[in-house]
Amino acid sequence: MPQYRSIFKDETKLDINYVPYKLLHRETEMRLLMEFFSFELRAPEKMAQRVIIAGDVGTGKTVLAQRFGNEISNEAIKLRTNLRYIHVNCREYRGSLFLILHRIVSIFHPNFPSRGYSAEELLGILIQILDDENAYVIVALDEFESLIEREGSEAVYELTRLQETRQNLPQRLSLICILRNFKVIDRLDLSTRSSLQSNVINLEKYSEQQLRDIINDRVSLAFKASSVSEETISLIAEVASSESGNARFGIELLWRSGKYADADNLEMLTPECVRKAVSSIISAMRKDELIPLSFHEKLFLMGIARAFVENQKAYISLADAEQAYSVVCEEFNVKSHSHTQLWKYLKTLSALGILRTRVSTTNSRGRSTLVYLPNIPAFELEKELKAILDKEAL
């Protein structure tokens, strides 16, 4: 039995729950969060804070809040402030205020009974615990939409206006509400909305270059030196960028690609590993999507697939694609079409999502068009096309 080897150095750095020490391209938002909650370190009893973090999937909302939680907790320890950061996923607790509050109380009292109290009573118990321990807490409510959808305005109002019932007493509870779409706040009544909307951090989608930086950083943490090329990193970033700038998707894709490389006992993570990983996450192109293509579109696509199989690259130039197409035409004994016609084929295949293109400026002669396969392994594509073309050629 061959000895197992892996290109991973520490694949836990690609786990969804891993919180990196540095958050690339979220430094401004981190500073803003620290500024919003700076009073928690200087005079936590003076006020409570409420902040909303909003952004699409994969924009770093959760990891930003968790990194902030780590940072402010460490600072609190240095200053001997009894401050806790607690992160709760509302969806995990079915959007129930009772279950969410029970989870928070259980952190302070692990054997706290799960029955016999209302949500309102649990909130009072939590505050009493904080008073007894002279403690302060920042609660991050992730997937906040779940709480709004199930409980509506009343539950959110109870959380945000709690301190109004505690005049001249220390302010114990601050909130970070994390959600995908800020418009969900419109479902709340006016008074509840006004208590939430004062401090909002909107996270924009990552650009392709930002995704490349993030993937590159995770590669350095998770993989052995020189096992992932810049070209492969670029391919992963492009695919993640096409999925709405989703960094989480890009990191999962990186991990899965590494697993395919290990399964094939490779010393490097190749672009073909990435294509296999994409096809396992995204619904891969089906055979019936290839059949309606014209005969020469299939020949052109087969030439491109074969080029990727042979050279193990992430991208090929349009000139190389045309050359590969010419070779396939010779095999099928047909005359190749012109550059203008192939350009039209390229546009059609790109519109269908079978191929994608990018413009490169690294060529000394100027700009050139590069072609890549976004979501299907080149080997599988070549195999499918050959079977179809062999039938059509009969």
Last residue of a domain, one of 255, 281, 307: 281
Give the per-residue pLDDT at 5: 86
99-146 pLDDT, tens digit per residue, is 999 999 999 999 999 888 999 999 999 999 999 999 999 999 999 999
In a domain, 17, yes or no: no
Q: Is residue 303 part of a domain?
A: yes
User: Average pLDDT in the 345-369 region?
Assistant: 81
Kindly state whether residues 212 and 119 are assigned to the same domain: no
Q: Quick one: three-class SS letters along 172-196?
A: CEEEEEEECCHHHHHHCCHHHHHHH
- Pair (55, 119) in one structural domain: yes
Is residue 294 over pLDDT 70? yes
Pairing of strands 83-89, 316-317: unpaired
At residue 287 the predicted structure's pLDDT band, cuts being 50, 70 and 90, is low
Contact 122, 164 (CB under 8 A): no
Domain-embedded: residue 324? yes
Query: Does any domain span residue 318?
Result: yes
Segment 346-365 shows an average pLDDT of 81
Distances in Å between the Cα of 356 and the Cα atoms of 34, 101, 242, 306, 317 are 41, 48, 10, 16, 12
Q: Of 281, 297, 330, which residue constitutes the final position of a domain?
A: 281
317/162 Cα distance (integer angstroms) = 62
Let me know whether 381 and 256 are in one domain: no
What is the arithmetic mean of pLDDT over 256-265?
96
At residue 393 the predicted structure's pLDDT band, cuts being 50, 70 and 90, is: low
Same domain for 167 and 212, yes or no, is no
Q: How many separate domains does the chain show? A: 3
Residues 363-367 have a mean pLDDT of 61
What integer is the mean pLDDT of 10-38? 95
- Identify whether residues 172 and 106 lie together within a single domain: yes
Per-residue pLDDT reduced to its tens digit, 299-321: 999 999 999 999 989 999 999 99
| Domain membership flag for residue 331 | yes
pLDDT at 360 over 80: no
Q: Which of 226, 257, 281 corresponds to the end of one domain? A: 281
Q: Is residue 215 part of a domain?
A: yes
State whether residue 163 is helix, strand or coil.
helix
Q: Are residues 276 and 291 in the same domain?
A: no
Clarify whether residues 52 and 191 are in a common domain: yes
**57 domain residue, yes or no:** yes
Residues 174-227 pLDDT 10s: 999 999 988 899 888 888 888 787 799 999 999 999 999 999 999 999 999 999
Q: According to the model, what pLDDT value does residue 1 have?
A: 47
Are 55 and 193 part of one and the same domain?
Answer: yes
Same domain, 49 and 185: yes
What pLDDT sits at residue 362?
58
- In this predicted model, which residue has the larger pLDDT, 108 or 164? 108
Identify the CATH number of the domain in which residue 177 sits.
3.40.50.300
CATH number at residue 230: 1.10.8.60
pLDDT of residue 353: 85
Least confident of 63-72, 205-214, 322-331, 372-381: 372-381
Least confident span in 4-8, 225-229, 247-251: 4-8
> What pLDDT, on a 0 to 100 scale, did the predictor assign at position 373?
92
Average pLDDT for the chain: 91
Residue 369 belongs to some domain of the structure: yes
* CATH code, domain carrying 307: 1.10.10.10
For residues 158-162, give the mean pLDDT. 84
The residue range of the domain holding 55 is 27-203
In angstroms, what CA-CA distances link 58 with 207, 235, 236, 285? 12, 18, 14, 24
Dihedral, CA of residue 207, residue 211, residue 217 and residue 219, to nearest 10: -160
* pLDDT confidence band for 364 (50 / 70 / 90): low
Residues of the chain above pLDDT 70, percent: 95
